[in-house]
A and B are shown apart, each in its own frame.
Chain A
């Protein structure tokens, strides 16, 4: 009865950090839909990231539809994703994550 999940990556050749993000989210949230976009090039010159080593996989935009979010408010959902991607945020130079999180019911509204 489960729908095959749709996973949309940023390009045909996503970087290693993106791959790791996708894998962690898929394994832990079992999303029916996951889309990830890489906005790093838009921020490469901003003051907050100047001097950073990672400027190619630093800013991502993620859309996730998963029933794991059921009953959780927005800060809780975002914190869930932040904790799954703790390594990327703390050690791999991921600087920002824009997130849209929905349960399957919400996505049909």
Chain B
């Protein structure tokens, strides 16, 4: 098995410090996040394809169980990938885009490029616009509605934003991410700039014309203003909403 599932911080330290020349791919996941299930198999497929290459290590980290490691790397959304070598972070990728990760891996590894086609077939239906996005011809309203229902419930806390948490494309989206991180809240996200049918469809679905939009347990909560006010009134807003 080419992927090493980290069991402890000690093991993690040992593996990452063992050889400064090794390229180490860190994959942060949680059992409850939808996109992670598919990315799990993508990560495994990639690792297997590179099993013969001793210069690359694939480490899988359950972000909930090993929260200290997640905090050190400031991982607040899953799935999350970090490529490191010699204790230096080469690249960070947030979200479930297999192609992006493969490209990054190829960019930094010394061996032959990983096969994009094989791993890309395992794409998550719920991901950042790759797969169901621009290419699809007329998705019926019911199909879109079904997809939105799944998307809004993809994680206990789902943020529909412009850009990604590591690269927000709008000040309001950036502020929303900052609030979630400040309150150390785990969330899934969807970049609506990458999928126009979701962007327009969600406005109707939520009956809300703007982004960012926050959903908790599949229920629409509001935009930035409302979340800010909710936090001001109740510091435990997220915890309470999650438990409800």
A binding-site residues for B, Cβ under 8 Å: 42-43, 46-48, 74-75, 78-79, 82, 86, 89-90, 95-100
Contact A79 B207, beta carbon cutoff 8 Å: yes
CB of B172 within 8 A of CB of A47, answer no
Q: Which residues of chain B come closer than 8 Å to A43, judged between CB atoms? A: 170-171
B222 within 8 A of A: yes
Minimum CB–CB distance from A74 to chain B (whole Å) comes to: 5
Contact mask B163-197 → A, CB, 8 Å, 1/0?
A: 10000011110000000000000000000010000
Distance between Cα atoms of A103 and B207 in the complex (Å): 23
| B199 to chain A: closest residue by CB | A48
Taking A43-B171, A47-B170, A74-B226 as known contacts, 20 extra A-B pairs with beta carbons closer than 8 A to each other, sorted by chain A number, are A43-B170, A47-B162, A48-B162, A75-B220, A75-B222, A78-B208, A78-B222, A78-B223, A78-B225, A78-B226, A82-B208, A82-B209, A86-B209, A89-B209, A89-B210, A95-B210, A96-B210, A97-B210, A98-B172, A99-B225
When distances are taken between beta carbons in the complex, the residues of chain B under 8 Å from A90 are 209
Which chain A residue lies CB-closest to B162? A48
Docked complex Cα distance between A87 and B223 (Å) = 20
A75-B226 in contact given A47-B162, A48-B162, A82-B208 (Cβ < 8 Å): yes
- Which A residues are CB-close (under 8 A) to B55? none
One digit per residue, 1 when the CB lies within 8 angstroms of any chain A CB and 0 when it does not, for chain B 111-131 equals 000000000000000000000
Q: Which 3 residue pairs of A and B lie closest in terms of their CB atoms, listed nearest first?
A: A47-B169, A74-B226, A89-B209
Chain A residue contacts of B208, Cβ below 8 A? 78-79, 82
Residues on B with C-beta less than 8 A from A74 are: 222, 225-226, 229-230
Chain B residues in 8 Å Cβ range of A42: 171
Residues of chain B lying within 8 A (CB to CB) of residue A48: 162, 169-170, 193
Nearest B residue to A86 by beta-carbon distance?
B209
CA gap between A78 and B163 in the complex, in Å: 24
User: What are 23 A-B contacts with C-beta separation under 8 Å?
Assistant: A42-B171, A46-B169, A46-B170, A46-B171, A47-B162, A47-B169, A47-B193, A48-B162, A48-B169, A48-B170, A48-B193, A74-B225, A74-B229, A74-B230, A78-B222, A78-B226, A79-B207, A79-B208, A82-B208, A90-B209, A95-B210, A96-B210, A98-B224
